[in-house]
């Protein structure tokens, strides 16, 4: 049975999108990964698309979604990233909060540092 992951941030345009991508990269067919935002922007940040393209992943195929658009299931893991009180409750066997800075306004070098932090956190969680 696949492990299910939901990654949540505010806009669903940077952090949670990259985390979803890394869950697919690290977990392959053994995981089902979703991402959503408490206040989705409706678009993926071009910086996130560029940062993931450097690693050979096409984030442009993702869509920014709200929590209302995710499956109504109990997830194995729900990981929140900096949405604080704006993150509504989602059924999960395990809830985790990662304090990851929002890279939206960062330059490419800093943005990639956040990307790599997310990659390491997701790898540890998925392959744990």
Which positions are catalytic?
9, 83, 87
Strands 3-9 and 75-80: parallel
Q: How many residues does the chain have?
A: 128
The helix/strand/coil state of 105 is coil
User: Tokens standing for 87?
Assistant: 């993150």
């Amino acid at each position: 049975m696949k492990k299910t992951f939901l990654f949540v941030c505010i806009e669903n345009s940077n952090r949670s999108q990259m985390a979803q991508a890394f869950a697919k990269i690290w977990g392959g067919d053994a995981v089902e990964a979703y991402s959503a935002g408490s206040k989705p922007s409706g678009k993926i940040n071009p910086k996130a698309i560029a940062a993931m393209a450097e690693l050979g992943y096409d984030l442009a195929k993702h869509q920014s979604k709200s929590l209302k658009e995710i499956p109504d299931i109990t997830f194995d893991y729900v990981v929140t990233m900096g949405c604080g009180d704006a993150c509504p409750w989602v059924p999960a066997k395990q809830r985790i909060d990662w304090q990851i800075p929002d890279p939206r306004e960062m330059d490419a070098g800093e943005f990639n540092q956040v990307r790599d932090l997310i990659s390491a956190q997701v790898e540890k969680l998925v392959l744990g």
